[in-house]
Structure 1
């Protein structure tokens, strides 16, 4: 297959994924404890577009105040986690890298809980939780990379990440158990399992801005990311300042994970799975991987949220529990097949 045919094939795959994503968005807002007919969805959207305000019906209240913000956040969360996983896997040259596996999410959770219970970073006002999450995420990422050193063994990075994750998880529990008020405990426990319930439009606007910035910056450095595939030494020989580039990626992924964790808690393994799926569809070029990882990440999170609402309806399963149940076996499969004995 020549280059032209490859581009056409990739373009068709991208269009199919985009169509699937649009259909998934509609189906996601349709299903829940109360099903909203598809005709009502389009009718309420039409009313909003034509009148500039939502209709005065129960369906409108469900759609615009609960379902649509939640579904949009799931989309943005999937994109952010997927791109974070892609960047971490590239700079570490490790197929097992992921914000959850490397302890980035756990560090962010610890920072967020400290901000809630100990009122750290109160000078930041409403942004105190996000600031705490960012500092925790950046610190945990820096520890993992520093402790891993220059080892070429991919398993070492993962083991160090798991150790850092366990440390920050334990630290989070210590902070929670030291809380004096039950309300603080209930609020902090939220960070231990991810949930998309209670999302508001203000959350959507902030996260959307963060995801758009991340996508733009990632696209700008796509060629540098491609250089990383050649190896650290080769990338530096070709003019890439490796230390500055790694620091940039650490700060970018930490900021993204912190923003998402501050809104939804810990959601694991999405950043591990989706880049692998994107590479299988689009190949190694990061120009295409950014697009396909975003599309697949959005699809994975949207349907994870749908199933988390549907499996035990009317009760809701935390979406972080569901992604861990699916992602952990995939993680084990990758370890066995990529890093088995004698490989």
Structure 2
């Protein structure tokens, strides 16, 4: 099977899996709705009553169209976005064990969000996403300044700077929680840092969706350049690539997208680390093939993880980050042993 046929086959299978898990996530829950009714409700919202006459209850309409559908779409956006960021970061730092958290972005977003919760800075619904986004940007700026020093950004120095900044920001988050007079803050912070899509609404979906589309528009034309980066800075420069500018641009774009996603979903771990490896095993290391596969598989994985999180202990819902960690943790250990063996 040649590479183009393999890519088409993998994309078809991944797309079918995405549609199946999306349908399951829309149908399954504490209140069951049959598939025909669910899709008629969604179709009614799209084309209006002139084409599809409502024959369902108001409660079913609210559950499907205003609760489950935006949640599924948000999970898909976050999963695809984190997979895209992980693919780009692994190429930029030339480290197969890298992920979105390596640049301290998640830790910075957590500091911003916890600061809003700790000091009661106005409306949490409005300020928490903005604070998380600002924290992510600040963390990214610090990491870049530390990694750059007086010369170009080195991938190894970038990783070390990210780890150091993440540790400091994690300690700052813990300090704010421990010194808070609010006894419920620890529970709120724990819930947010473990991630989840339960707060998804149509108005919270616009920003991550637009951010993902813009990121795809920026990074898709650079897939060949990602391949060149893997050959090393000297070879990339010899091929006419401005390595420093390209690396900074990709890092900034990845961090901005990560900040947007974390601000609406909390910290969902291991997606950006695990999905690029799955895509690489399916279609090879060429980023022209990897990126679309990673986007599709990442969306399907996040939707499936959210489905498990809200149904495995009905009526109680567990954070999505626990599900992704239970899958991603063992995968990371296996990947680490495989890398060391090589």
- Shorter-normalised TM range: 0.7 to 0.9
Q: Quote the residue 1:37 is aligned against.
A: 34
2:43 to 41, 46, 52: 46
**Residues 143/197 of structure 1: CA separation in 2 closer, same or farther (3 Å cut):** farther
Q: Which runs of 5 or more structure 1 residues have no equivalent in the other structure?
A: none
Task: Tell me if the contact between 2:130 and 2:263 (Cα under 8 Å) persists in the aligned partners.
Answer: no
Task: Tell me if the contact between 1:194 and 1:266 (Cα under 8 Å) persists in the aligned partners.
Answer: yes
Task: Tell me if the contact between 1:176 and 1:189 (Cα under 8 Å) persists in the aligned partners.
Answer: no
Q: Quote the residue 2:131 is aligned against.
A: 129
Q: What are the superposed Cα offsets for residues 311-341 of structure 1, whole Å, 9 maximum, x if unpaired?
A: 211111100111112111111111111124x
Secondary structure at 1:100's aligned position in 2? helix
Deviation at 1:227, TM superposition (A): 0.8
2: distance between equivalents of 1:25 and 1:291? Answer: 18
Deviation at 1:130, TM superposition (A): 4.2
**Residues 240/314 of structure 1: CA separation in 2 closer, same or farther (3 Å cut):** same
**Residues 30/255 of structure 1: CA separation in 2 closer, same or farther (3 Å cut):** same
C-alpha RMSD over aligned residues: 2.8
Deviation at 1:144, TM superposition (A): 7.5
Aligned residues: 333
Q: TM-score, normalised by structure 1?
A: 0.87
Task: Tell me if the contact between 1:66 and 1:198 (Cα under 8 Å) persists in the aligned partners.
Answer: no
Q: TM-score, normalised by structure 2?
A: 0.87
Q: Quote the residue 1:298 is aligned against.
A: 299
Task: Tell me if the contact between 2:269 and 2:325 (Cα under 8 Å) persists in the aligned partners.
Answer: yes
2: distance between equivalents of 1:311 and 1:140? Answer: 40
Task: Tell me if the contact between 2:42 and 2:64 (Cα under 8 Å) persists in the aligned partners.
Answer: no
Query: What does residue range 121-160 of structure 1 map to in structure 2 within 5 Å?
Result: 126=127, 128-139=130-141, 141-142=143-144, 145=147, 150=154
Q: What are the superposed Cα offsets for residues 218-243 of structure 1, whole Å, 9 maximum, x if unpaired?
A: 11211211111211111122122222
Query: What does residue range 76-155 of structure 1 map to in structure 2 within 5 Å?
Result: 76-118=77-119, 126=127, 128-139=130-141, 141-142=143-144, 145=147, 150=154
Query: What does residue range 227-242 of structure 1 map to in structure 2 within 5 Å?
Result: 227-242=228-243
Task: Tell me if the contact between 1:84 and 1:99 (Cα under 8 Å) persists in the aligned partners.
Answer: yes
**Residues 40/141 of structure 1: CA separation in 2 closer, same or farther (3 Å cut):** farther
